Each structure stands twice: as structure tokens, then as C-alpha cells.
Amino acid sequence: MKYIGIDIGGMSVKAGVVTEDGAILAKKTCETNANAEDTIIVRDIADLIDGLLEESGVSKDEIVGVGIGSPGSVYDEKGVIRYSCNINFKNTPITKLLAEYTGIKNVKVSNDANCAALGETMFGAGKGAKNTVMLTLGTGVGTGIVVDGKLLTGNRSAGAEGGHITINLGGATCGCGKKGHLEAYASATALMNQIQDACRKHPESLLAQRVAKEGVSGKIVFDCKEQGDKVAESVVKRYLKYLGIGLVNYANIFYPEVLILGGGISNQGDNIVKPLQRYVSRNVYGAEYNPKIKVACATLKNDAGIVGAACLVM
């Protein structure tokens, strides 16, 4: 059986034909006409699907369904994107429109972080598990929660916003405007801020020297730590503690088999997995009696959105 996964981003829309074992047979991309009327954006997605099928030689009759992952607030059950801050979606009935435009009746939509979590659970780092929590560490902290093999999205799909749990009451300001949220401490944006702050305080450090030459990045701070720079080591240690606090909170509530980390920081692999595994194993409630929770980095990488979206209709 074949499915189509649609990954909507602020800059581009990616589409792929996905098999029942999670393999991508063909991919195609188009630019996101983000400021156009929502019906035009959906029409562009329909045209993208037509082009994908034509190029891949797959007929529309072979497609079981279309899954869509979108940023923003999504009402899964109604097939509506309530709002997306970078794309002109406002109460857009995207599943209804796309079904009309393509003639494919089975169309479902969810938040992009939910889709990534579902894809990683079915075919990636969480394969074989029924209960997972995924954190995507980027501009913010996106989360997706899978319980008993199904997405947990809360009342009218408004839940699973795990980046906005409070880990420091009255602390740093989050991108949402509230204070002390995990996103303000554990996102890639937060790490960049922490690096820059350390460089201002310690201009003599290797970290400051590298940043001055190459610009700020998460990779640099981990590289400098490996080279023995104490300032970089301090930044990494503090950042991972913040992230570890968030993971322990999720572990205590959901007790998943796997905690999955996505986003560019996940490319650090064991550099983050090993210390976070130790932190979770030591601090989760009942650790000496309960099953061990695995910490792992996402494996689907740039294909997580396409594969995860397709999982919505499998």
C-alpha cells in the first residue's frame, strides 16, 4: 500500500510517496506561498501531489490516503488548521479542501511535531515501542506524545505543548511571552543565547574565540568542550541539565519506553544521549523498580515530517 505524506514548512512544502514499511519511494518540493490566501496554498499542495504522482509513476488509485503535518494550532479531528504564525492559515479546513482538489477522500492533518513523533515511533528511534515522547529542539521546543501507539493531543487537539512546561518559576522569558518555560532554556535558540552570554563573560575562552571567527552554533560549543575548554563545558553541562529536567518531567507523567530528541542538536548523538540517559535514570521516580526509559536521538532526520504525516493515514 502507498500513502502520501505532506510536510508544510514556512519556506517550503515537501511531499513524498511512502510505503507501509515507512520507505519513501519519491519526493517533490514546492515553495510555500505563505502570504497567499489559504485556499491558494492548499491548491499549491494539490498541484504538488499531482506532480509527485506524475513523476513517480504512481497512480492516484494506488494512494490509500494523504497525511499532512503543519506548524501551528491544528484541530486534528475536524481537519482544520486554526492558526499558524508564519503561514496564512486561519481556521482553514485543509483536509476538506485538499480532498476536493485532489479527489483523494482520506485526508488527515496534525501538528508537525506530532507527525514527527508518530513517524519516529513507527519507523525511527522508537520503532517497536508503544509509548514515546519526542522533543524537537529548534527555534522552540516542539513535543509529540504517543500513548499505546496513538497520538495524545488533548482537548480539541490543543495539548501536547510540552515546550511550555515551567521549569523555573519567574525565569527567562519564553518565545510565547510567559516566563520560565522549558523552551526558554532547552531550545536551540536558548542554547545560542547561553553561548553568547558565556562569550561576553569569558572573552579569553576558546569558545569566545571560535564564535568570533565562525559565528555562534551549537556544534561549536560541543567541539570546544571536547577540546577541553572549561567555559564550553560549563555551557553544555548547564544546558543538558535544563533539558534533563524537562525529560524527567515527561518521564514521570507518561513513563514512555523511549524519549526521542530531534532537531539539529540531536546530531551530537552520544554527546547528549549519554549524559541525559544518566540524568533521567537517576532522577525519574521509582527508577530502581520501574522499567528503564531509553533516551535516543531521532533517526529519520529530514524525512521525519513526510514519513510521520503519512503515518496519520496508515
The CATH 3.30.420.40 domain(s) of the chain lie at 2-119+303-311, 127-298
Strands 80-84 and 73-75: antiparallel
pLDDT band for 280, please (50, 70, 90 cuts): very high
Architecture of the domain whose range is 127-298: 2-Layer Sandwich (3.30)
Stated length of the chain:
314
Question: Per-residue pLDDT for 10 more than 90?
Answer: no
pLDDT band for 139, please (50, 70, 90 cuts): confident
Question: What pLDDT is stored for residue 224 in this prediction?
Answer: 97
**pLDDT per position as a tens digit, 198-239:** 999 999 999 999 999 999 999 999 999 999 999 999 999 999
* Per-residue b or e along 144-165, where b marks 16 or more CB atoms closer than 10 Å to that residue's CB: bbbeeeebbbeeebeebbbbbb
Backbone torsion region of residue 293, taken as left when φ is above 0, otherwise alpha when ψ lies between -120 and 50, otherwise beta: beta
In the chain, what percentage of residues exceed pLDDT 70?
100
pTM of the model: 0.91
Question: Per-residue pLDDT for 79 more than 90?
Answer: yes
Topology (CATH) of 2-119+303-311 = Nucleotidyltransferase; domain 5 (3.30.420)
**pLDDT per position as a tens digit, 104-127:** 999 999 999 999 999 999 999 999
Question: Per-residue pLDDT for 60 more than 90?
Answer: yes
CA dist list (Å): 81 to 18, 157, 211: 23, 11, 39
Contact 305, 5 (CB under 8 A): yes
pLDDT band for 86, please (50, 70, 90 cuts): confident
